[in-house]
């Protein structure tokens, strides 16, 4: 009886050990699966050039690092940042620093610009004139009616010598009231940014932000002049602030800073202005 009893005890002990071993094996397998799943990411962008930039210039580099990437395209800027904030996507590309900072503050979101990328600049377009020098006195020019893009338009016009702004004016917030000298007596017509490409047909000149120009199939290089863009107006890859030092964030920065990324930009995104870190 003692022998049988000991045999049963040994059998139960072996079974318990096997169960523990199986449990450990399962846990390790789960950890491995989780690690692998962390390489499956979603990136958000608006349809058009910045979605294309993800697909052509950034994702190939991430795939070389072992990531499996899905691009989610949005038509709504607000939803793009909401998706980032709630974790539906791990990063997005569509907005410049000023918009990101204002949006995050107003909506109590903790989002961070990870790295700036080449961005389609505002251009001065015309079907009436072939150069800045040809612009006549009293010419009409359509400009964006939103403060951020309007400031960009007035800065561009000053860079081209068409107007002079008050020396004390903040370049990021200048408006028509800050014009100290209007050398050509330009007549400004503020309209919705989305309507600016069509206004080239009716006005002498039009100050068109790059994203709207591209959406209307306009050639950036056909502009009479392109914006000398402040880096705060360049689009950024944005992430949640809590993830700014994550491995994914480090890998995204490494891809964007690579020679392969710049090569694609030079070949596929002609006319895009490069951020300071790429030109120094």
User: Are 241 and 196 spatial neighbours (Cβ–Cβ below 8 Å)?
Assistant: no
Domains of the chain: 38-119+232-279 (3.40.190.10), 123-228 (3.40.190.10)
pLDDT at 31: 33
Give residue 280's pLDDT: 84
Cα–Cα distances (Å) from 213 to 42, 48, 206, 222, in that order, read 27, 11, 11, 11
pLDDT at residue number 38: 67
Q: What is the pLDDT of residue 153?
A: 97
pLDDT string in tens for the chain (280-residue length):
444 444 444 444 444 434 444 433 333 322 334 444 469 999 999 989 999 999 999 999 999 999 999 999 998 899 999 999 999 999 999 999 999 999 999 999 999 999 999 999 999 999 999 999 999 999 999 999 999 899 999 999 999 999 999 999 999 899 999 999 999 999 999 999 999 999 999 999 999 999 999 999 999 999 999 999 999 999 999 999 999 999 999 999 999 999 999 999 999 999 999 999 999 8
14 CB burial (10 A radius; 0-12, 13-18, 19+): exposed
Query: What integer pLDDT is reported at residue 135 of this predicted model?
Result: 98
Q: What are phi and psi of 234, to 5 degrees?
A: -85, 140
């Amino acid at each position: 009886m003692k022998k049988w009893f000991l045999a049963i005890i040994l059998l139960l002990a072996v079974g318990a050990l096997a169960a523990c071993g199986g449990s450990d094996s399962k846990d390790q397998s789960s950890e491995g699966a989780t690690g692998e799943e962390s390489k499956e990411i979603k990136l958000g962008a608006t349809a058009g050039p910045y979605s294309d930039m993800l697909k052509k210039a950034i994702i190939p580099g991430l795939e070389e690092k072992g990531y499996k990437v899905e691009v989610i395209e949005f038509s709504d800027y607000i939803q793009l940042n909401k998706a980032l904030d709630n974790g539906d996507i791990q990063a997005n590309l569509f907005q410049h620093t000023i918009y990101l900072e204002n949006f995050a503050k107003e909506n109590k979101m903790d989002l961070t610009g990870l790295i700036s990328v080449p961005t389609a600049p505002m251009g001065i377009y015309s079907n009436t004139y072939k150069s800045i020098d040809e612009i006549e006195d009293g010419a009409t020019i359509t400009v964006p009616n939103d403060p951020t893009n309007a400031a960009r338009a007035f800065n561009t016009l000053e860079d081209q010598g068409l107007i002079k702004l008050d020396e004390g004016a903040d370049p990021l917030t200048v408006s028509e009231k800050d014009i100290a000298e209007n050398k050509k007596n330009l007549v400004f017509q503020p309209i919705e940014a989305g309507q600016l490409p069509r206004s080239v047909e009716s006005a002498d000149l039009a100050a068109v932000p790059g994203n709207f120009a591209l959406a209307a199939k306009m050639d950036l290089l056909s502009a009479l002049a392109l914006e000398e863009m402040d880096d705060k107006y360049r689009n950024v890859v944005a992430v949640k602030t809590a993830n700014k030092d994550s491995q994914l964030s480090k890998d995204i920065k490494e891809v964007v800073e690579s020679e392969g990324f710049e090569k694609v930009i030079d070949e596929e995104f002609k006319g895009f202005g490069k951020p300071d870190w790429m030109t120094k």
